Amino acid sequence: MKYMNSESKKRSPWVNLSLFSLTVIAVFILGWFVSTISERRAEALFAYKPKVQLADFEPRNEVWGKNYPWQYESYRKTQETDFHTPHGGNAMKDVLSENPEMVVLWAGYGFSKDYNQGRGHSYAIDDIHNTLRTAGPKAPDDGPMPSTCWTCKGPDVPRMMNQLGSPAAFYAGKWAKHGEEVVNAIGCADCHDATTMDLTITRPALVEAFEAMGKDISKATHQEMRSLVCAQCHVEYYFNNQNKEERPNYLTFPWVNGYGPEEMLKYYDDIKFSDWTHSISKAPMLKAQHPDYEVYTTGIHAERGVSCADCHMPYVSEGGLKYSNHHVTSPLKYVSQACQTCHRESEATLLKNVYDRQNKVAELRNKAEELLTRAHVEAKVAWDNNASEAEMKDILYEIRAGQWFWDYVAASHGGSFHSPVESSRVLGKAIDHAQNARIQLARLLATKGLTKEIPYPDLSTKEKAQEYIGLPMEKLKQEKDVFLKEIVPVWKKKAAEREAKMDLVLN
């Protein structure tokens, strides 16, 4: 006690007071600093003022548009059909009229009836109603196509998968089953989380494909997500019927071995899968869908870290405002925003660079088309001259492989620019397989006494080609007309009534 007293007496009260005050000030500033950090963290969450509350699975793009007017306005420009390039654009093109050989290549399969270069995302629903491939179902369980065909058509799909309880329940049944439900075209909720606006995956097939490859999609970076949201649909897929009872027509990406054309072909061969049997050559065929993502990953842009959105949804300035352009289309429509962010060449030079690559790949593609068509026609002649199954087996596999490699390139939107080297390599394989088939066919036909060239059918127009493979086009068109006049208006009316009851919660 004595010591303590003497110690405290030694210190002037002013020292204690100033020590106290300094500590108070330091703690006050520290506390203030910490509390402003927390406040402004919270403030960041309310940086923008949404007009309406978006429910989970809100499918109506125009409702999202109330909160994000610039993004929505630019999205609406996907309705434009005014832009043509030599190999693409945003207008509908009748691909079968441009390449009538394709009718023969797809003989016996829906694509020989009708195949158009698609229009913008806004038209997803209209175009699937209109195509002859979906035919004219008269009842929910009628028609040639399964429900799975809706999967990529709009944000009603994840809503329905959730409502029905599982993706399998959505895929089951015929296409006409969801006609009243899937009415909003590809839009906001297909790629965005309704609460955070973060990019998100809404199609189970992509998550499952990543799992099958032993990858975890939830580890994807933001930059990777800017391509992966597109890869939900712009990929090769097939309808898996290995468990037909519980999971019919289950949408699956054949990515187990990887997503190169060889790996996917091996996958299909291993499970003995074919999309259809060719009506002319009887070959077990594969239809490549649109391996856009797969081809893009082999290109130089992907290798340099450029995502789909960097070119197809470039950042734009409008007055003082910047936003990502949601007018998803050919970047050749806005070269200055898409290409010239990185490339300082003139617009004319850049366009030439693109067209050069596309034209050169198209040259090979046209060659492969002709050779594959010849192979199909020659195979038919072999069958007609009593060739046996055993004699034809290897030949038919060559045709299957050749057409798969051709289609891998032909079906990939923009693939000839995304990855010209890979596209050319794969077309080289297509030509090789087609010619292999034809060499073997020539030998086989020689044993049957046929040594002259097999005449090439007149395929100068789509109509002649369709007549050649025996398609009843008038009947198909009539069915479609009835469907569009009688069924679709009912679907639309019922959907409008259902949506009128959906809430719109204002903020």
Partner 1 sequence: MTGKLIKSLVPPPKWRVVVVVLAGIITGLSFYAIYAGKAWSYLSDAPETCVNCHIMAPQYATWQHSSHREVAHCNDCHVPHDNIFRTYLFKAKDGMRHASMFTLRLEPQNIFIKEEGTEVVQENCIRCHSGLITDNKLLAQTSVFHQKFEDRLCWDCHREVPHGRVKSLSSTPYARVPMLKSPVPEWIKSNKK
DSSP structure string for 138-196: SSTT-SSSBGGGGTTS-THHHHHHHHHSSHHHHHSSBGGGGTTT--S-S-HHHHB-TTT
Positions touching partner 1 (CB under 8 A) are 4, 7-8, 11, 15, 19, 23, 26-27, 30-34, 36-38, 40-41, 43-44, 47-48, 68, 70-71, 161-162, 165-167, 193, 196-202, 204, 207-208, 217-218, 220, 222, 225, 228, 304-305, 310, 314-315, 317, 320-324, 341-342
Q: Which is nearer to partner 1, 34 or 421 (CB)?
A: 34
Q: Which is nearer to partner 1, 33 or 449 (CB)?
A: 33
Instruction: In angstroms, give the least distance from the CB of 32 to partner 1.
Output: 7
CA gap 322, 384 in Å, rounded: 65
Q: Which is nearer to partner 1, 315 or 456 (CB)?
A: 315
Q: Is 456 helix (H, G, I), strand (E, B) or coil?
A: coil
Q: Is 83 helix (H, G, I), strand (E, B) or coil?
A: coil
DSSP 240: E
Q: Is 416 helix (H, G, I), strand (E, B) or coil?
A: helix
Q: Which is nearer to partner 1, 37 or 496 (CB)?
A: 37
Q: Among residues 71, 74, 81, which one has the least CA distance to residue 123?
A: 81
Q: How far is CA 285 from CA 9, 12, 397, 465, in A?
A: 101, 98, 9, 19
Instruction: In angstroms, give the least distance from the CB of 53 to partner 1.
Output: 16
Instruction: In angstroms, give the least distance from the CB of 240 to partner 1.
Output: 13
Q: How far is CA 93 from CA 64, 86, 126, in A?
A: 31, 11, 15
> Crossing angle, helix 261-270 and helix 389-410, to 10 degrees?
140
Query: Would you say 87 and 362 are in contact if contact means Cβ atoms under 8 Å apart?
Result: yes
Q: Is 486 helix (H, G, I), strand (E, B) or coil?
A: helix
Instruction: In angstroms, give the least distance from the CB of 226 to partner 1.
Output: 10
Instruction: In angstroms, give the least distance from the CB of 374 to partner 1.
Output: 45
Q: Which is nearer to partner 1, 198 or 458 (CB)?
A: 198
Instruction: In angstroms, give the least distance from the CB of 162 to partner 1.
Output: 5
Q: How many Cα atoms are found within 13 Å in the side-chain-facing hemisphere of 450? A: 18
Instruction: In angstroms, give the least distance from the CB of 168 to partner 1.
Output: 9
Query: Would you say 448 and 387 are in contact if contact means Cβ atoms under 8 Å apart?
Result: yes
DSSP 81: -
Instruction: In angstroms, give the least distance from the CB of 369 to partner 1.
Output: 38
Instruction: In angstroms, give the least distance from the CB of 228 to partner 1.
Output: 8
Q: Which is nearer to partner 1, 4 or 390 (CB)?
A: 4
Q: How far is CA 505 from CA 48, 56, 457, in A?
A: 17, 13, 62
Q: Which is nearer to partner 1, 68 or 405 (CB)?
A: 68
**3-state DSSP: the chain helix, strand, coil percent, rounded to 5?**
60, 5, 35
Q: Which is nearer to partner 1, 47 or 390 (CB)?
A: 47
Q: Which is nearer to partner 1, 38 or 386 (CB)?
A: 38
Instruction: In angstroms, give the least distance from the CB of 322 to partner 1.
Output: 5
Q: Which is nearer to partner 1, 208 or 370 (CB)?
A: 208
Q: Which is nearer to partner 1, 70 or 83 (CB)?
A: 70
Instruction: In angstroms, give the least distance from the CB of 356 to partner 1.
Output: 23
**94: β partners:** 116
**324: β partners:** 315
Q: Is 438 helix (H, G, I), strand (E, B) or coil?
A: helix
Output phi, psi for 240, to 5 deg.
Answer: -85, 120
